[in-house]
Amino acid sequence: MLLALLCCLGCLMVTAPLRAQEDIDTEEPIPSSVDEIVAPMDRLAEKKPVRPGVFPWLKEQLKGYPPFLRDTTIGLNLRSFYLRRSNYDGSINEAWAMGGSLSYNSGWLYDRVSAGATLYTSQSVYAPESREGTNLLASGQQGYTVLGQVYARVRLYEETILNLYRFGEYNSPYLSKNDNRMTPYTYEGYTVLGRVGETDDGPRLVYGGGYITKIKDKTANRFVWMSEKAGAEVKRGVAVLGGRYSFGGFSLGAIDYYSDDIINIGYAEASYRLDMPKDLGIRFAAQFTDQRSTGSNLLTGSSFSTNQVGMSTDVSYRSTILSLLYTTNSRGQNLVNPWSGYPGYTSAMVTNYSKAGVSAFGTKISYDFSRLGLEGLAAYVLYVHGWGMVDQTTKAPLPDENELDADLQWRPKWSLLEGLWVRGRYGIVHQYQGPKQYVHDCRMIVNYDFQLM
């Protein structure tokens, strides 16, 4: 029944092409006020909502058992994803895939130890072999099924948890799930994540650290060393340490990723939300990224360093949000995102604006249609202009680019369809100097995430 519903929705969306975006907020719903905006460092504090299962009688069968069995949850994610992109050179990437994931999470044994696993799959519905490159399917437009997460968790102290082996729920600026295709990135490593302080507007600290050894790419069936994923032919992991402090409308966070002989990435972010009269909200944020080579410079063969500064201002009024975005990069080298997403404020669906020397200005307007009686329907339009790009080797100037993205999404509030997310997105990149080329990118996504028990 559920699979049939998903197929029908996927077919309906193919008749009405819209589109999607590649920045860090791809996984987040469109906010209706500045209070709901999720910035890259805010994701450290995110917790998955606990929803009741659609088969409560299954839960009843475990009622008399110890918590390790009684509190077991089984989640099912059904996903349909269509992507078509025409590139500058005239080539086309296109595929329609269906699949999703099945996840298991145990309860706590003696309130100290739990376990979990997640199986992912993506299967071809329509995928011309000559149009591969969508990152929805494996090489040759082939489907895949892979066990992406197998892990144990140990409660060290209240909300401080030790994560062992292949745990995939990491949400930090340069190391995250980046769940914007059929399958997210998953990792192998050993980390500690914790929270202390108030849960609402009181002082609160979220922190984490550890060592990540390997990563599984979205369409891969095996894990590789983090250094190999970055592009170096050696076996190195990544040490990570960071935290975020918040109090009322203020937050400050920083995180560092260090891979010996490969790269060090430091990221910091601050935001402040003003207390305003009813229906009005104002938020300011700033970010800074520093990237540089380490040790023997095995990533590029020589030392390098680069950085980026970003600022954003958001104003909300009665379900409408207007955002002004700006980033500027040093001319040293292109910024890289070697292990997952890219957190720059002007990062758009197709273009990250991460090249050496680029400055980018963006404006984004979003609206939640619930005030008009269309519950769960929201949309945004994003425009970004980038200029000043240079070739990182020769320093020769590169063409300026504009990108215009549109995003329409529907999250119904009906109890039967809770967890359903229908999205349509369209993006155009215009390289208006030189040959004046275009990229057109169209995506349609249906995501149905729910608990079986």
pLDDT at position 253: 96
- The mean pLDDT value for 174-178 works out to 93
**Is the distance from CB of 117 to CB of 150 less than 8 angstroms?**
yes
54, pLDDT greater than 80? no
pLDDT at position 23: 44
**177-209 confidence digits (pLDDT tens):** 999 999 999 999 999 999 998 777 789 999 999
**109-129 confidence digits (pLDDT tens):** 999 999 999 999 999 999 999
Q: What's the whole-model pTM score?
A: 0.91
pLDDT at position 20: 30
User: Which pLDDT band, with edges at 50, 70 and 90, does 418 fall under?
Assistant: confident
**248-281 confidence digits (pLDDT tens):** 899 999 999 999 999 999 999 999 999 888 889 9
pLDDT at position 24: 45
User: Which pLDDT band, with edges at 50, 70 and 90, does 435 fall under?
Assistant: confident
pLDDT at position 49: 67
User: Which pLDDT band, with edges at 50, 70 and 90, does 443 fall under?
Assistant: very high
Structure tokens at 198: 């108030």
229, pLDDT greater than 70? yes
The more confidently predicted of residues 277 and 381 is 381
363, pLDDT greater than 90? yes
**38-48 confidence digits (pLDDT tens):** 888 888 766 67
**1-32 confidence digits (pLDDT tens):** 333 333 333 333 333 333 233 444 567 789 99
pLDDT at position 42: 84
Could you write out the three-class secondary structure of the chain? CHHHHHHHHHHHHHCCCCCCCCCHHHHCCCCCCHHHCCCHHHHHHCCCCCCCCCCHHHHHHCCCCCHHHHCCEEEEEEEEEEEEEECCCCCEEEEEEEEEEEEEECCCECCCEEEEEEEEEEEEEECCHHHCCCCCCECCCECEEEEEEEEEEEEEECCEEEEEEECCCCEECCEECCCCCCCCCEEEEEEEEEEEECCCCCCEEEEEEEEEEEEECCCCCCCEEHHHHHCCCCCCCEEEEEEEEEECCEEEEEEEEEECCCEEEEEEEEEEEECCCCCEEEEEEEEEEEEECCCCCCCCCCCCEEEEEEEEEEEEECCEEEEEEEEEECCCCCCCCCCCCCCCCCCCCCCCCCCCCCEEEEEEEEEEHHHHCCCCEEEEEEEEEEECCECCCCCCECCCEEEEEEEEEECCCCHHHCCEEEEEEEEEEEECCCCCEEEEEEEEEEEEEEECC
User: Which pLDDT band, with edges at 50, 70 and 90, does 234 fall under?
Assistant: very high
What percent of the chain clears pLDDT 90, i.e. is strictly above it? 77
pLDDT at position 6: 36
Average pLDDT, the chain: 90
List the domains of the chain with CATH numbers: 2-451 (2.40.160.10)
